[in-house]
Amino acid sequence: MPIVNARIDASAALADPALVNVYGCTVGPDTRIGPFVEIQRGASVGARCRIGANAFLCEGVSLADEVTVGPGVMFTNDRHPRAVTAAGTLMGPEDWTLETTRVGPGAVIGANATILCGLTIGAGARIAPGSVVTRDVPPGAHVRGVPARGAASPSHPLTSSSLLDQAEAS
């Protein structure tokens, strides 16, 4: 897997450069990137972030500083994905509109969450593992589920065990 035309701070660490696909993006200082991660052109990752194995950050995704992206997290950037145009021809770059996604400082996105395009995830927000985020997440909010909705308060953080407790109680 290549590292091509990427601006990666010298203090950033890649689990194994042969096992990542990083191109045309920016990666900030002291950031850690796990194996089998793809970060596409135009994406940016701030300082002191952690990107888990198999995460996908597409064009238009911007992570502020100190963001945690769990393993298998998937970002999208196309609201209406299609293979062909109405005329039946294969779509090209000119046939779609890039939708950007912003993730605020200190946000945590749990493993295997999917973040739909065109959203803002606020500073310090927490997204539980496996959630599908379909709307903006306010700063400090804790969300979970499909689609993701409010789930907890700072005094009751989202952890795997707290989610199991909530599920068993319902």
Residues annotated as catalytic are: 80
Alpha carbon 28 to its chain centroid, in Å, reads 15
Residues 6+ apart with CB under 8 A from 67: 45, 46, 49, 50, 103, 104, 105, 106, 107, 108, 109
| C-alpha to C-alpha distances, 128 to 31, 142, 149, 159, nearest whole angstrom | 22, 8, 10, 7
Tokens at 2, concatenated = 């290549």
Sign of the CA dihedral 72, 144, 102, 95?
Answer: positive
Q: What is the CA radius of gyration of the chain?
A: 17
Q: Is 145 helix (H, G, I), strand (E, B) or coil?
A: coil
